A and B are shown apart, each in its own frame.
Chain A
Amino acid sequence: MSLKPGRPGHAHLAIGLLAGAAVVFFALPLLGLLVRVAPAELWRQLAAPSVQTALRLSLYVSLCAAGLSLLLGLPLAYALARLPFPGRGLARALVTLPMVLPPVVGGTALLAAFGRRGLLGGALEHGLGVILPYTTGAAVLAATFVAAPFLVITVEGALRGLDPRLEQAAATLGASRLRIVGTVVLPAIRPSLIAGLALCWARALGEFGATITFAGNLQGRTQTMPLAVYEALHDSPDGAVALSLILLAVSLALLAALRGHFFKGAG
């Protein structure tokens, strides 16, 4: 599609207006957070034991989820990109599904699988004595369920874009498959791996719906920052804003640290 010659002014004006509206739309809520809380209040909130508990738990849960995503997601991404196996399309669709699934549906599905009356829950409880729901482990699983796909999809895309002749060359030189992955593939996709891991971690840090559904809401055990924000919204709205600012700061720091990975060539 091309713009009609002689009338770019109108098109640009319309695009500019809508783009400007978009920027205002994204900027206003953040500005609203910033002006709502005095720095002293923010400091007071940050020092509150309940906030520190939630922040610590959030970091713990999201880092565990990122680690679990890496452990399971990296081999999965490799398999999806490199190993032709029957049902690969189906496997990819299944793994991508949590990205578009409402998280509360994810939580309900996790209960249906790992809850006490779920598919595996009974066996877990009676066989191993493990009851997952309402534990920190459940919060980690919930976060992994929604966040791992970001890692898998990002890494798979990078692997597909990687010239297979590199690996072939290494193979003709006698390197084992594992050695090729370690010395050729991983270094080549490092930027995407870091970006995927960061996206995955950020998604895990922000997880709410699946967590409150599958893991419940208990301070120090399953009440992560987003759950604490939601609860504070009804008990102390200023506290909720302060907590939100803390999460915003963490997200901004992440974005700043990664800007080279996401926006290559952008100004």
Chain B
Amino acid sequence: MTRLRGPALRVVLLAAVGLGGCSSSPGAGKTELHVSAAMSLKEAFTDLEAGFEAEHPEVDVVFNFAGSQILAAQIVAGAPADVFASADRAQMERATTSGRMQPARVFARNRLVIVAPAGDTTIQGPADLTRPGLRLVLAGEAVPVGAYAREALSRAGVRDAALANVVSNEENVRGVLGKVAGGEADAGVVYATDITQELAGKVRTIAFAGADDVVPAYEIAALADSPQQALAGAFVDRVAGPAGAAALGKRGFLPP
């Protein structure tokens, strides 16, 4: 049998080491807790991170923020995660079909608003979203905020006319907000909590009249196959407990 020696062996080893090096992630020997969370939770959860890590110094919380439909699909496909926080029940239920989810609980609520670029004066309510030629951006149907927005347009009795004005279906709520803040879209529907200080000067927020009974509810659960059950449970408890309520409240979320 021919054995690998010298330069040839070095090339093969180098390739193997390179591949190994690329696939392991950086981290100073801490336990990583992977939290998949709805995009709209980004600021509130990031606020919570420091407190949790102070209580668990051996842990590094790693967030995966995206539209809940993407996170649910990742969980169904077997992606590693320890905690999932969804912006609606539908996507939590979809994740649950994987058989990997612990029972979920509602930990916060939100409110829908209409946004327009700063300086706009023409939009007063949902009825104005039906104006011919208006460029409306929503999140896609499977995205929680997209589903809530369609439901709210329905309640307001303007669903079909407003949907005829949609020029793009975004994959998460921040995509909608970005298009409006950038002035490319005339209007969009997002959560009240998405208007961060940074964006407050770039968009005008209009109440979504008639959508009072469409109340976005966030659900959280640990994954049953998480190798860090205790930690995952502790994170869920923190989010659903007083510390979580304070952090979420500060960012404008409503109590469950």
Interface residues of A (CB under 8 A from B): 7, 9-11, 13-14, 17-18, 111, 115-117, 131, 133-134, 216-219, 221-222, 231, 233-235, 237
* Total interface residues in chain B, CB < 8 Å: 33
Q: When chains A and B are docked, how far (Å) is the Cα of A186 from the Cα of B11?
A: 45
Interface residues of B (CB under 8 A from A): 2-9, 11-12, 15, 67, 69-70, 72-73, 76-77, 135, 137, 140, 142, 166-171, 179, 182-185
Number of interchain pairs (Cβ within 8 Å) = 75
Q: Indicate if the CB atoms of B8 and A218 lie closer than 8 Å.
A: no
Please give the distance in Å from B174's CB to the nearest CB on chain A. Answer: 14
| A237 partner residues in chain B, CB cutoff 8 A | 73, 76-77
Question: For residue A10, which residue of chain B has the nearest CB?
Answer: B8
Q: When chains A and B are docked, how far (Å) is the Cα of A117 from the Cα of B202?
A: 13
Please give the distance in Å from A2's CB to the nearest CB on chain B. Answer: 13
| A222 partner residues in chain B, CB cutoff 8 A | 168
Q: Indicate if the CB atoms of B2 and A111 lie closer than 8 Å.
A: no
Q: When chains A and B are docked, how far (Å) is the Cα of A115 from the Cα of B9?
A: 54
Select one of B12, B69, B70, B140 contacting A14, CB under 8 A.
B12
| A14 partner residues in chain B, CB cutoff 8 A | 4, 8-9, 11-12
Q: Indicate if the CB atoms of B168 and A9 lie closer than 8 Å.
A: no
| A217 partner residues in chain B, CB cutoff 8 A | 140, 168-171
Please give the distance in Å from A40's CB to the nearest CB on chain B. Answer: 22
Select one of B69, B76, B169, B182 contacting A115, CB under 8 A.
B182
24 pairs, CB–CB < 8 Å, chain A vs chain B: A9-B2, A10-B2, A11-B8, A14-B9, A18-B12, A115-B182, A116-B184, A117-B183, A134-B168, A134-B184, A216-B137, A216-B167, A216-B168, A216-B169, A216-B170, A217-B169, A217-B170, A218-B166, A231-B140, A234-B70, A234-B73, A234-B171, A235-B69, A237-B77
Q: Indicate if the CB atoms of A10 and B169 lie closer than 8 Å.
A: no
Please give the distance in Å from A140's CB to the nearest CB on chain B. Answer: 16
| A9 partner residues in chain B, CB cutoff 8 A | 2
Top 4 A-B residue pairs of the complex, sorted by shortest distance between their CB atoms: A216-B168, A14-B8, A134-B167, A234-B73
Select one of B142, B166, B170, B183 contacting A234, CB under 8 A.
B142
Q: Which among A9, A10, A219, A237 has the greatest number of chain B C-beta atoms within 10 A?
A: A10
Q: When chains A and B are docked, how far (Å) is the Cα of A222 from the Cα of B135?
A: 14
| B179 partner residues in chain A, CB cutoff 8 A | 216
